[in-house]
Amino acid sequence: MGIKERKERHKEDLKQKILDAAKSLFMKHGYEATSIRKIAAEIEFSPTTIYLYYKDKNDVLYALHREGFKMLSARFSALTTVDDPFERLKAMGRTYIKFALEHRDFYELMFVMKEPLQFLNNQCVSVDWEEGKQSFEYLMDTITDCQKYGYFADQNPELFSMFVWSTVHGFCTLSLHGHFDHIVENNHIEYESNDLLTLSINNFFGLMDKLK
């Protein structure tokens, strides 16, 4: 390996080390408590070193944002072996919810916080957002496959994919922020499950099954 290749590998290794430290701090303490200075202290470098590789904290958050979508895409990719497209769609919904519950901070970063998208729009105009596109394309391809089996035949696949995603996202966000529990407790709603989130997603896909 030549000098140029070694320098490039060192650069990539250090960027990953910074990102791993930021991920650890972010998962433990959240966005507000994670600073460039704390990331630098975690890897025993000066804050100046961080700025050689990332413009600011939002740049680091955007890199983590991309990491989160890679994690989600890998889970969706594992479902491509499910032949029945409607069963695959339901599996994607359950997978999405499980990801949200297991990786709450990542989920907030990917789908709730505005800072990563602001960085993308302001600083990465020429960059194709491949990670986010790939996750949505898994969903859209599955919707298209469902249409071949007679489901949602009169629906625009892009718009219907947005509808499915935004509905499941709404379930996740309401649950993560305690709104489900608040509504249930204050309106004395009774339901036959200890898991309102699971009940909601099952009812949603039950209704979708009738659209065939």
CA 95, CA 188: separation in Å to the nearest integer?
29
pLDDT tens sequence for the chain (212 residues): 677 677 778 788 888 899 889 888 887 887 778 899 999 999 999 999 999 999 888 888 888 888 889 999 999 999 989 999 999 999 999 999 999 999 888 888 888 887 777 777 776 655 556 777 889 999 999 999 999 999 998 999 999 999 999 999 998 998 888 877 777 666 656 655 557 777 788 888 888 888 77
Q: How far apart are CA 158 and CA 47, in angstroms?
A: 43
C-alpha to C-alpha distances, 25 to 31, 32, 44, 67, 90, nearest whole angstrom: 9, 10, 14, 15, 33
Residue-range domains of the chain with CATH: 1-54 (1.10.10.60), 66-209 (1.10.357.10)
Quote the pLDDT of residue 128: 59
- The answer to whether 145 and 83 are in contact (CB under 8 A) is no
What sign does the CA torsion over 88, 89, 93, 96 have? positive
